[in-house]
């Protein structure tokens, strides 16, 4: 293969722990151009191939972040589309979904075009999510079809739930004729009130106002009921309660088209982490027991 085009563009990722649909195992990965040609133990190395030592590392397909806050426009001091995309690439992500709770929010086609133009220069694929309601205000539906025509596939008022169940029902029904999913931030603001952590033994001990898990579970149950009623596609974001997951399982077994996500910190930490009043552990939704 000396000097051939194939040998010049072959890369072997050697000795890593490969994680894919088949599970995980120690294996090599052969890449020719932009195509994965082979995965297996102790692959032969073509002459002239580039070899990357992945010993002690995980080798996986590019991760996808369904819920990223790139903060542009309006909050560029915290993040921009390009800075967030660069961070994603460094962390092994090949695609991210940018939430629309910016200022102004992504609630019309012009905003979608602007962000897609910026994202064209990003090192990873940036998918733009759109708002369910105009201005994320919960009063009327945003122009979902206009944004869907530009490729928007996820709609959410992230940071807010859609408080009006009739309006959420219309969004789910409207989405039946579009290739879209309605995503909900499940937290009833009236139950959450001014809480800053989970309502329970630790909030009592620390003297801090709490957010009961029921603030989430109430809306999860409502939204799953509406998904079953309408047949619409519903995604529930950053769930924090085990009972919420039980409601989702029951709804799915009953035919509702519902999916859900959970964050790494909700899997690995509890509300006891706030015992030292460290604000790093004040997250939304709050850490639960």
pLDDT tens per residue, range 107-124: 999 999 999 999 999 999
**Mean of all residue pLDDT scores within the chain:** 95
Q: How far apart are CA 132 and CA 90, in angstroms?
A: 31
Does the pLDDT at position 197 exceed 90?
A: yes
The per-residue pLDDT for 8 is 52
Please report which confidence band the pLDDT of residue 82 belongs to, taking 50, 70 and 90 as the band edges. very high
Beta partners for residue 197, in sequence order: 210
Please report which confidence band the pLDDT of residue 155 belongs to, taking 50, 70 and 90 as the band edges. very high
The closest of 107, 286, 103, 105 to 199, measured between CA atoms, is: 286
The per-residue pLDDT for 143 is 98
The per-residue pLDDT for 21 is 87
Phi and psi at residue 72, in whole multiples of 5°? -105, 130
Q: How far apart are CA 209 and CA 44, in angstroms?
A: 61
Element (H, E) at 16: strand 10-20
**Percentage of the chain lying above the pLDDT 70 cut:** 97
Cis before 91? omega within 30: no
The per-residue pLDDT for 3 is 43
**Percentage of the chain lying above the pLDDT 90 cut:** 94
The per-residue pLDDT for 22 is 86
The per-residue pLDDT for 7 is 44
Asked whether 184 and 222 are in contact (CB, 8 A), the reply is: no
């Amino acid at each position: 293969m000396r000097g051939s085009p194939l040998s010049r563009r072959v890369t072997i990722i050697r000795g890593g722990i490969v994680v894919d649909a088949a599970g995980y195992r120690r294996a090599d990965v052969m890449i020719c151009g932009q195509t994965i040609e082979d995965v297996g133990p102790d692959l032969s190395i073509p002459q002239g191939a580039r070899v990357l030592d992945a010993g002690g590392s995980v080798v996986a397909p590019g991760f996808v972040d369904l819920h990223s806050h790139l903060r542009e426009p309006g909050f560029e001091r915290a993040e921009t589309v390009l800075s967030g995309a660069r961070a994603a690439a460094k962390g092994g992500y090949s695609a991210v979904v940018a939430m629309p709770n910016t200022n102004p929010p992504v609630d019309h086609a012009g905003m979608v075009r602007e962000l897609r133009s910026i994202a064209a220069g990003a090192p990873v694929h940036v998918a733009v999510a759109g708002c369910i309601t105009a201005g994320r205000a919960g009063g009327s539906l945003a122009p979902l079809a206009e944004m869907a025509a530009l490729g928007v596939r996820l709609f959410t008022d992230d940071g807010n739930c859609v408080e009006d169940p009739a309006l959420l029902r219309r969004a789910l029904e409207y989405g039946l004729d579009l290739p879209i999913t309605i995503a909900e931030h499940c937290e009833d603001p009236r139950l959450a009130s001014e809480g800053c952590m989970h309502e329970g033994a630790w909030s009592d001990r620390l003297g801090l106002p709490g957010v009961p898990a029921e603030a989430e579970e109430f809306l999860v149950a409502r939204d799953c009921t509406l998904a079953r009623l309408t047949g619409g596609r519903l995604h529930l974001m950053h769930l924090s309660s085990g009972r919420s997951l039980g409601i989702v399982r029951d709804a799915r077994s009953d035919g509702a088209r519902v999916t859900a996500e959970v964050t790494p910190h909700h899997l690995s930490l509890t509300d006891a982490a706030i015992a030292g009043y460290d604000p790093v552990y004040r997250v939304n939704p709050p850490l639960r027991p």
